[in-house]
A and B are shown apart, each in its own frame.
Chain A
Amino acid sequence: DTEVTQTPKHLVMGMTNKKSLKCEQHMGHRAMYWYKQKAKKPPELMFVYSYEKLSINESVPSRFSPECPNSSLLNLHLHALQPEDSALYLCASSAIRDRLKEGYTFGSGTRLTVV
């Protein structure tokens, strides 16, 4: 069982819909991440939160809006997506600074299809 939980596992949405992806971790980690992964490609970093503050935005379009309500939760709000945004969206968490060497723990992802 993964210690990072993502919901929903699957999501189909229209281009005019608004939806949210949710991620929760109970590992005591203070950094959380959103990644996007297309088929047969590696994960691509989208956002990094550290101590609940956005520290890295990898030039992600504004139709993706992250939110970190507290140290355990991370949301990704979706609005007016395009079909090319269809992908596996992965959440991850990690310790910070010296303990970053322990690596990231990933959730099982949300498979998003935009129609």
Chain B
Amino acid sequence: RKEVEQDPGPFNVPEGATVAFNCTYSNSASQSFFWYRQDCRKEPKLLMSVYSSGNEDGRFTAQLNRASQYISLLIRDSKLSDSATYLCVVIKETNAGKSTFGDGTTLTVKP
């Protein structure tokens, strides 16, 4: 079993749709959780940190369920510019973090 597993996708949705991505992790010692976005041939960019209380940034909502070892990302009112690969990242913290990336879920938003 992979340490971090994501929905394989791809997701193809129309503009304005709501889409949800899920990610599970196997190491209960994991401490920090993130969603990154990566455009084709670009570097990953931080979309959101994920907290147990849940957090929202505009059209994006992230949730963490430590008991089920599960994180999610909800995108409302999808835009064409949301088309990208979304990477779930889990860190087991030492002094500096040892990160594990999920395989990524590709989202294509169509007109």
A 63-102 to B, binary, CB cutoff 8 A, 1 in contact else 0: 0000000000000000000000000001000101100111
A-B contact count (CB 8 A): 68
A102 shortest CB reach to chain B, Å: 7
Query: Can you name the residue of chain A whose Cβ is closest to the Cβ of B45?
Result: A106
A94 touches B96 (CB 8 A): yes
A55 touches B94 (CB 8 A): yes
A100 touches B93 (CB 8 A): yes
Instruction: Report the interface size for chain A: residues with CB under 8 A from the other chain.
Output: 29
A41 shortest CB reach to chain B, Å: 7
Chain B residues with CB under 8 Å of chain A are: 31-32, 34, 36, 42-46, 49, 87, 89, 91, 93-104
11 residue pairs bridging A and B, Cβ less than 8 Å apart: A42-B104, A43-B44, A45-B98, A48-B98, A56-B98, A94-B97, A101-B49, A103-B36, A104-B97, A104-B99, A106-B45
